[in-house]
């Protein structure tokens, strides 16, 4: 672990990287919207729809404040779009679970539900 004296006496980029790794500070910085999106995904997947709705509103505000093309890692893939695709996937997953768990459901319905879930997953993963 770096001492306080070592922290204040660095002058080169190599020293800064050494201290960064020594103090446990990550060398990368996730965007705030990525962190909020992760919270949204967790809340929605756990069935906390009211909380997820509030988090989605925060994502919408963040997306409206970012100038077009500024800091976007993926072309056109903004957090709000990802949240909507996550909703689509979770709803498809829930539909598939319901079809599988309901006694007497015909295999065609289960297969259709499975394909719907796969399609939603592919759309979400394509980002």
Q: What residues contact residue 29 under an 8 Å CB cut-off, 6+ apart?
A: none
Q: Dig out the tokens for 73 from the structure.
A: 């890692």
pLDDT tens digits along 97-107: 999 999 999 99
> How far apart (Å, rounded) are the C-alpha atoms in residues 5 and 70?
38
What pLDDT was estimated at residue 61?
A: 86
pLDDT band at 119 (very low <50, low <70, confident <90, very high): very high
Residue given tokens 């399609």 in the structure block: 119
> How far apart (Å, rounded) are the C-alpha atoms in residues 60 and 83?
10
Q: Dig out the tokens for 44 from the structure.
A: 């929605």
pLDDT tens digits along 6-44: 555 555 556 655 655 556 655 555 678 889 999 999 999
**Contact by Cβ (8 Å): 44, 89:** no
Q: What residues contact residue 100 under an 8 Å CB cut-off, 6+ apart?
A: 110, 113
> How far apart (Å, rounded) are the C-alpha atoms in residues 47 and 125?
21
């Amino acid at each position: 672990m770096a001492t306080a004296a070592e922290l204040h006496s660095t002058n080169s980029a190599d020293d800064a990287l050494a201290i960064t790794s020594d103090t446990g500070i990550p060398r990368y910085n996730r965007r705030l919207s990525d962190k909020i999106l992760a919270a949204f995904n967790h809340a929605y997947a756990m069935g906390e729809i009211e909380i997820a709705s509030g988090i989605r509103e925060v994502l919408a505000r963040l997306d409206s404040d970012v100038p077009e093309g500024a800091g976007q890692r993926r072309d056109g893939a903004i957090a709000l779009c990802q949240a909507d695709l996550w909703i689509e996937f979770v709803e498809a997953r829930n539909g598939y679970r319901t079809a599988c768990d309901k006694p007497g459901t015909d295999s065609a319905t289960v297969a259709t539900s499975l394909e719907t879930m796969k399609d939603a997953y592919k759309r979400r993963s394509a980002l």
